[in-house]
Structure 1
Amino acid sequence: AFITRQPKFESFFAVEMMFLGNTEALAVSSLQLKQMKAQRLVTIAMMSMSCVTASILGAYMQMMPGQYVIAAVPINIVNAIIVTIILNPVTVTPEEDVIAKIGSSAQVAENTQTTDPSGSEELAEDQVKADAKPKKEPFFSFLGDSILGAGKLVLIILANVIAFVALAKLIDSGMQLIAPWLTLENILGVIMFPFAWLLGLDVPTAFKFAQFMGTKLVTNEFVVMGKVSPVVQSYAPHFKAMLTVFLTSFANLSTTGMVIGAFKGIVDRKKNDVISKNVGYMLLSGVLVSLMSAGVVGLFSW
């Protein structure tokens, strides 16, 4: 936070998601997220597109060069902060730049407003004063609530992922009725070609790189890694380094469903609607971060 001049939580979340992944980091940060304004939540959603889970890095390194996989993780963090500052600049006052704590007055007020059907602000304020020293919740009550909340969150995320994958497949099937070669992968490959060429690749190699990029965005990184792992060592060092770094993130269409599903189970409908309206920015953020990280590593590998 000191180096980037970003709010405390956004800076912490950038590091947190490097180890936990997107939905896990969102879940354990639910108390903080509930107390943040919608524009800051959009920033968090955009950053969530550029993470990986530490537990899955071993699988990546079985298929792709390990040194580039490890290099991609911290570079993605820095680039995620840079890209979100550009795409979604947010002014955070010192009063807003606080870390939520269990039992704080803000949490008590939020719980009171949630449970109070009348919506009376005076009743909420009286309740905050009465609960200034919150009672300690029994362990098994806390455990039961946590399990129930986690179960609901998993189901919401799963439903959203299925819906987004099915939607992509439906679009593909519809376009293939017009032309057999017309798929989301090919369309995105054509769109990504200029960016692949700007990374320093010749035209045929850049088109091949762009096709991998399009496939990753529509499906996921494992699909592409599985295709190239048998021959990845035969690629030129520049191409190999940039492809590995670009693939080392969760930036794809199904991840947008996971992130939106996670927020839907954590924040209220109004805030979730703001996030849902910025799905395009979320995907753009993930693509730009991956491109920037690939470009940075490509500068040092020829």
Structure 2
Amino acid sequence: MYLLVNILGIIVFLGIAFIFSKNKKEIKWRSVITVLVLNLVIAYCLTQFAWGRAAVEAAANGFSALVEVAYQGIAFALPSWVHVKSMDFVTSALLPILLIVPVFDILTYIGILPWIIKWVGKGLAYITGQPKFESFFAVEMMFLGNTEALAVSTLQLKQISAVRNVVIAMMSMSCVTASILGAYTQMVPGQYVLTAVPLNILNAVIVTSILMPTSVSPEEDTIAKLGSSSQTAEVAVGEHPENAEEAKKEPFFSFLGDSILGAGKLILIITANVIAFVALAALIDKILGAINPSLSLEHILGIIMFPFAWLMGSDVHTAFDFAQNMGTKLVTNEFVVMGKVSSHIGSYAPHYRAQLTVFLTSFANLSTVGMIIGAFKGIVNREVNNAISKSVGYMILSGILVSLLSAGIVGLFVW
């Protein structure tokens, strides 16, 4: 029975996207079905086949090993923070970012990451039939995160239409940067964290192509060229010039220093957000408790999100707990919920454990909306930015539906 409910849930989530579609006649159902089938195959392989599970576990172990190396650096500077019975949230989950972000930036500097983005993006565009840039951007989000992917796509964003910019903004709600996965794997099962990454990418393509289908002519379906006044050669996004004369890189150690500073700022931002949102949630609980002792933010959010949680295929008690975690994540962020459940998520039923982890593995929350709009404000003109600002509701809806679909699809194969 629960499996049937889970299947019904996926259909309902797609139905909600269809109901709110801006242009139902333009939906490319063949592309939607192709991507959905691909998503089901990926989820099945990563959860059911021994080699799929082994690959995901190996990747998770790789991130764990990277985090362990980061602890050595932390212990050198702050031994009293590491050599304790139980490290606090900032030390265990966030400070390793000081190593992980520079590692991924180095991979970008030497050209490995752009090469992966280029070819995976081309493959995704070919398989899904989606516009090339949207496919490239989906892959960029997986590795770079939303604001970073927007920043490196500045030239393209300035050239495409306002509607396509809105689609990109909607997709940006569902990403998760690879450099922060190590922090996630320290709090929730790494196997499902890494399974969520490709599912979120493909589900972002599905949801946005239903909510806001766009027609792109062959002339428009191009990747912008990069160039500067000092360069006569133009280099396609994801490609690299043959020699140093064509593209002058920033000196490596200057680049590395900026990367480390950026990682430090990211830690401060996350820490500040977690502290503020947890405190605000506690304040709201106090206010609600003063009105009625039985009222709490989690309780209210649980009631609102309960129908969606129940459609994941769990019993009523589990669904209500899931709904509370869903609501808390959307109002605050994923770190708040991960920190809350990290000590006991291992005791959850496999189905719930997998779905909760996948649902949490994205930046889909209200604070992300502000980050995305702020990033676009510095890139596109006022008219395009206004179009994005008017579509905040669709951005939030897109982020929620992608998380629900990803969790629902994984749930089909984990019981």
Tell me the TM-score normalized by structure 2: 0.56
2:366 aligned residue: 253
2:219 aligned residue: 95
Q: Deviations over 1:94-144 (max 9, x none)?
A: 12111111349xxxxxxxxxxxxxxxxxxxxxxxxxxxxxxx99999xx9x
2:353 aligned residue: 240
How far apart, in 1, do the equivalents of 2:325 and 2:381 lie?
37
How far apart, in 1, do the equivalents of 2:410 and 2:196 lie?
8
Structure 1 residues 174 and 229: alpha-carbon distance in aligned structure 2, compared to 1, 3 A threshold = closer
8 Å CA contact retained: 1:172, 1:182:
no
2:304 aligned residue: 191
1:54 aligned residue: 178
How far apart, in 2, do the equivalents of 1:175 and 1:264 lie?
35
RMSD after superposition: 2.9
Question: Residues 139-288 of structure 1: matches in 2 within 5 Å?
Answer: 172=284, 176=288, 179=292, 185-288=298-401
1:124 aligned residue: none
The offset of 1:256, in angstroms, is 0.4
Structure 1 residues 172 and 264: alpha-carbon distance in aligned structure 2, compared to 1, 3 A threshold = farther
Identical-residue share of aligned pairs (%): 71
Query: How many residue pairs get matched?
Result: 253
* Partner SS, residue 239 of structure 1: helix
Letter in 2 for 1:274: A
How far apart, in 1, do the equivalents of 2:405 and 2:169 lie?
19
Q: Deviations over 1:28-62 (max 9, x none)?
A: 10010011110000110010011011111011111
Structure 1 residues 190 and 28: alpha-carbon distance in aligned structure 2, compared to 1, 3 A threshold = same
8 Å CA contact retained: 2:172, 2:372:
yes
Tell me the TM-score normalized by structure 1: 0.76
The offset of 1:189, in angstroms, is 2.5
- Please, which of 29, 54, 58 is the counterpart of residue 153 of structure 2? 29
1:130 aligned residue: none
The offset of 1:173, in angstroms, is 8.6
The offset of 1:8, in angstroms, is 0.5
Letter in 1 for 2:214: V
* Partner SS, residue 63 of structure 1: coil
1:83 aligned residue: 207
Are 1:38 and 2:151 matched, yes or no?
no
- Where in structure 2 are there 5+ consecutive unaligned residues? 1-124, 229-245
How far apart, in 1, do the equivalents of 2:338 and 2:247 lie?
47
Letter in 2 for 1:101: K
Question: Residues 102-117 of structure 1: matches in 2 within 5 Å?
Answer: 102-103=226-227
How far apart, in 1, do the equivalents of 2:204 and 2:151 lie?
20
The offset of 1:81, in angstroms, is 0.2
How far apart, in 1, do the equivalents of 2:131 and 2:382 lie?
24
The offset of 1:187, in angstroms, is 3.5
8 Å CA contact retained: 1:246, 1:290:
yes
Structure 1 residues 180 and 265: alpha-carbon distance in aligned structure 2, compared to 1, 3 A threshold = farther
